[in-house]
Chain A
Amino acid sequence: MSGAEAAVRRGTWLSRLPIRRENQAYAALFLGPTFLLVLALIIYPLVFSVSLTFSRVSTLGGERSWVGFDNWARLFRDPLFAQSLGQTVMYVVPACILAVVIGLAVALVLNQDFPGRLLVRASLLIPWALPPVVVAAMFQWFLDGRRGLLAPWLVQLGLVDKAPAFFTGVPGTLYTLVGIHVWKTFPLIALIFLVSLQYLPRETIHAAQIDGANAWRRFRYVTLPFLLPTIGVALIIQLLVTIQLFDLIFALTGGGPGAYSTYNLYFYAFKTSFEHTNLSYGAVLAYVVTAIIVVLGVVLTRGGRSLRLS
């Protein structure tokens, strides 16, 4: 490190900003309110929630006592934590695969030239734009065993003998939720792929075609490698929204049927904090979710970067 560089690195954080010395007071004045907001809304809650995990605090208030790592140790003795964690995986894996596969397929179709393409493209986003509660209510009606629309059709078409139990089976109900979640989230994924496809040069596809590649091989050797980084991005996005899946569970099953069969970690954290009023253990569960997101996010972005470099 040269002397000049070292000089720059010393001093307060403010003096390192590209601001003249005589203006630094103004800078502090302008930054102050924002800093206070960040402090109050981000830093303080963060510190507070960490301290929560080492104490016993009820949502209803009352005495607060330090318990060390008791709340963290409970994770390893808690069968419902293990079940929720397992069910989180049962949500995330199919939801990510389905949303990426369907999103990609839809994007490839919408990237073709056909009459009415603009209209179809615009209507694609409807599921994504609907409020989750509306989606939940809609599917409740649509999939209801007795009065729903789908069950009678399936029976009349002879595909099933009796109305399938969309909201009463175990573990079937979890997959009903996965299906609804995918229906709601794939449009954004499709849109991401569609944008990416706009950047794939038409000439490269034409070159492959002239070189003798049929539609499948053009996809396999040209389009798919081109989209690999985008698939990484789509996976991260879908992973984040699926790990945080809450509203559909809350509105459609409340965690049931049976013994917590549609719980995921996020929902479990909510139940613990606000129904069982154990704010401390709820915070621990929320931190587990955060840790999973951070780790997977780093792995996927690193993976995506090395893919692009190779």
Chain B
Amino acid sequence: MAEVRLDRVVKRYRGLAHEALQETSVTFKDGLFTCILGPSGSGKTTILKLLAGIEEVSSGRIRFDGVDVTNVTPERRDVAMVFQSYALYPNMTARDNIAFPLQLRGLPRAERYRRVDEVAAMLGIGPTLARHPRQLSGGERQRVALGRAIVRDPKVFLLDEPISNLDANLRMQTREELKRIHADLKATFIYVTHDQDDASAMGDEVVVMAAGRIHQADTPTAVYWQPADRFVASFLGRLPMNFVTGTLGEGDGSVVLEGPDGLALDLGPRPDGVRLPPGRVLVGIRPESVQAARADGPGPGVIGTVTLTEVVPPDRYLTAAVGSWSVRARVVDGDEVQPGDQVRLRFGLRSLNFFDPESEQRLDMSSAGPS
């Protein structure tokens, strides 16, 4: 078990103009399941390779439990890694693949195979142990690769998109198994993925990355509901977040967002302890936080015209035009809407995210204001 820390680590590749990893400091907490989430080329696999030691840092230090391992070779770091390609040894049986790390540690054959059998039972691959990798299905290979990591009982598990090559059902099943294995082993898991469902299903913490930089490290709930910047806000979520730029004002006991082309959104009364950021702000609203109902009668909210409807089970969504602003919203249960219909859209102040329009960094409502 170990706490894993990157201390101002930079990684440059030869012949590459930009840094694969900009100066990064991050802590992967002892015993937690941390998911590194980001699009391709964001530097997430680079972090894994640096932690494994198969790539060297350009500058900065890597510490396991406070011990500097920056210059320790991979074979002495006591980390296990599961590759996206599984990287099994083609000339060995599944049993010998899993047993290989133990063989290298000089365990006698009987002891090795006993531990392999335990791990194989845990992963449900007992019957396949005598086969070679090319005789195994994708799911079986993935489990053998996992078994090869588990059998070592390492301090740190590094997993590089190990389930992205599996079909949907197997993925969900494997997510549960990984959670269970993590609960059993209580080791530090660092899991790289580009799939936010992986991250929110398994992660105790999620580290969101893009273009060689960490944008946010927090719980799955926090990165979803309190994104640190516009990138995180737009990267997460099944439907894209709505954005609009405007200024916040207070009048008639209600907070109003004044946007472009005379757009005025009534956000309801200001709750206690909430401060409004001054000046122009970039507002982000998740579609599921906007309620759309047929505009049959009077009521609070702003009127829009439906341009598009879609179903994202279990909910129905629509896209509505409010002046020049196009906003996606969840249709309240029981209402039938068609393109061209008028709908009433309601926004809650609490579900809004405010960002600085220049830096696109989050503005915290509870601390914003004169400081």
Question: How many of A's residues come within 8 Å of B, CB to CB?
Answer: 18
Q: A203-B83, A221-B100 are in contact. Are A210 and B91 (CB under 8 A)?
A: no
Interchain CB contact (< 8 A) of A201 among B76, B85, B100, B105: B85
B120 at the A/B interface (Cβ < 8 Å)?
no
Q: Determine if B104 and A210 form an interchain contact, defined as CB atoms under 8 angstroms apart.
A: no
A123 within 8 A of B: no
Q: Which residues 218-269 of A have a CB within 8 angstroms of B?
A: 221-222, 225-226, 228
Task: Tell me, yes or no, whether B69 is within 8 Å of chain A by CB.
Answer: no
- A207 at the binding interface (Cβ < 8 Å): yes
Q: Within residues 72 to 96 of chain B, which ones have a CB less than 8 A from any CB in chain A?
A: 73-77, 79-81, 83, 85, 87-92
| Interface flag for B181 (CB, 8 Å) | no
On chain B, which size bracket covers the interface?
Answer: 20 to 34
Residues of chain A within 8 A of B76, CB atoms compared: 212
- CA of A217 to CA of B73, assembled, Å: 15
Q: A203 near B104 (CB under 8 angstroms)?
A: no
Contact partner, A212, options B85, B87, B92, B104, Cβ 8 Å: B104
Q: Is the CB of B74 within 8 A of A210?
A: yes
Which residues does chain A contribute within 8 Å of B87, judged by CB atoms?
Answer: 201, 203-204, 206-207
Q: In this complex, which of A203, A211, A221 has the most chain B Cβ atoms within 10 angstroms of its Cβ?
A: A211
Q: A207-B81, A211-B152 are in contact. Are A225 and B54 (CB under 8 A)?
A: no
Q: Judge whether B80 and A210 touch: CB under 8 Å.
A: yes
Residue pair A211, B85 in contact (C-beta under 8 Å): no
In the complex, A51 has a CB within 8 A of chain B:
no
B153 to chain A, nearest CB (A): 13
CA distance A300 to B89 in the complex (A): 25
Is B104's CB under 8 angstroms from A217's CB? yes
A200 to chain B, nearest CB (A): 10
Partner of A209, one of B54, B85, B105: B54
Q: Is the CB of A213 within 8 A of B75?
A: yes
A218: nearest chain-B partner, CB-CB: B75
Q: Is B52 an interface residue, CB under 8 A from the partner?
A: yes
A128 to chain B, nearest CB (A): 30
Query: Which chain B positions have C-beta within 8 A of A203?
Result: 83, 85, 87
Is A289 on the interface with B (CB-CB < 8 A)? no
Closest to B49 in A: A206
Q: Is the interface of A mostly helix, strand, loop or mixed?
A: helix
* Given A206-B87, A222-B89, A212-B52 contact (CB < 8 Å): no
- CB contacts (< 8 Å) of A15 on chain B: these are none
B101 within 8 A of A: yes
Q: Is the CB of A209 within 8 A of B83?
A: no
Q: Is A59 an interface residue (CB 8 A)?
A: no
> B369 CB to closest chain A CB, in angstroms?
50
**CA separation between A204 and B86, bound complex, in Å?**
8
B141 in the interface, Cβ–Cβ < 8 Å? Answer: no
Q: How far is the CB of A17 from chain B (nearest CB, A)?
A: 36
Q: Are A210 and B81 in contact (CB under 8 A)?
A: yes
Q: Which residues of A contact B143 (CB under 8 A)?
A: none
CA distance A222 to B133 in the complex (A): 14
Q: Does B148 contact A (CB under 8 A)?
A: yes
Report yes or no: A212 in contact with B89, Cβ–Cβ below 8 A: no
When chains A and B are docked, how far (Å) is the Cα of A209 from the Cα of B76?
A: 9
Cβ B100 vs Cβ A208 within 8 A: yes
- Are B54's CB and A211's CB within 8 A? no
The CA of A76 and the CA of B88, in the complex, are separated in Å by 54
- The 8 A CB mask of B314-354 against A (1 = contact, 0 = none) is 00000000000000000000000000000000000000000
* Bound: A221/B101 CA distance, A: 12
On whether the beta carbons of A206 and B85 are closer than 8 Å, the reply is no
| Chain A residues in 8 Å Cβ range of B101 | 211-212
- A226 contacts B52, C-beta separation under 8 Å: no
In the assembled complex, which residues on chain B have CB atoms less than 8 Å from the CB atom of A290? none
- Chain A residues, Cβ within 8 Å of B100: 208, 211, 213, 221
CB neighbors of A among B99-143 (8 A): 100-101, 104-105
Bound complex: CA A212 to CA B54 (Å) = 12
A interface footprint on B55-83 (CB within 8 Å = 1, 0 otherwise): 00000000000000000011111011101
Which interface residue of A204, A210, A214, A226 has the most chain B CB atoms within 10 A? A210
Hey, which chain B residues are within 8 Å of A208, CB to CB?
A: 89, 100
User: CA–CA, A101 to B85, complex, Å?
Assistant: 31
Q: With CB as the reference atom, state the residue of chain B lying closest to A207.
A: B87
Give the distance in Å from the alpha carbon of A217 to the alpha carbon of B77 in the complex: 17
Q: Is the CB of B54 within 8 A of A206?
A: yes
Complex CA gap A217/B75 in Å reads 11
How far does the alpha carbon of A201 sit from the alpha carbon of B104 in the complex, in Å? 21
Interface membership of chain A positions 187-219, coded 1 if the CB is closer than 8 angstroms to chain B and 0 otherwise:
000000000000001011011111111100100
> How many angstroms from the CA of A225 to the CA of B92 in the assembled complex?
9
B53: which A residues are within 8 A, CB to CB? 209-210
Q: Which residues of A contact B83 (CB under 8 A)?
A: 203, 206-207
**B83 (CB) vs chain A CBs: closest residue:** A203
Name the residue in A209, A214, A225 with the highest tally of chain B Cβ atoms < 10 Å from its Cβ. Answer: A209
Instruction: Report Cα–Cα, A206/B75, bound state, in Å.
Output: 9
Given A221-B100, A225-B89, 10 further pairs, Cβ under 8 A: A201-B85, A206-B74, A208-B100, A209-B53, A209-B74, A210-B81, A211-B75, A211-B104, A213-B104, A217-B104
Sample (23) of A-B pairs whose CB atoms are under 8 Å apart: A201-B85, A201-B87, A203-B83, A204-B88, A204-B90, A206-B74, A206-B87, A209-B73, A209-B75, A211-B80, A211-B100, A211-B101, A211-B152, A212-B75, A212-B101, A213-B100, A214-B75, A221-B89, A221-B92, A222-B89, A225-B90, A225-B91, A228-B91
Q: Interface of A with B (CB < 8 Å)?
A: 201, 203-204, 206-214, 217, 221-222, 225-226, 228
Q: Which 9 A-B pairs have the closest CB atoms?
A: A225-B91, A207-B87, A203-B87, A211-B101, A212-B104, A209-B74, A206-B54, A212-B75, A204-B87
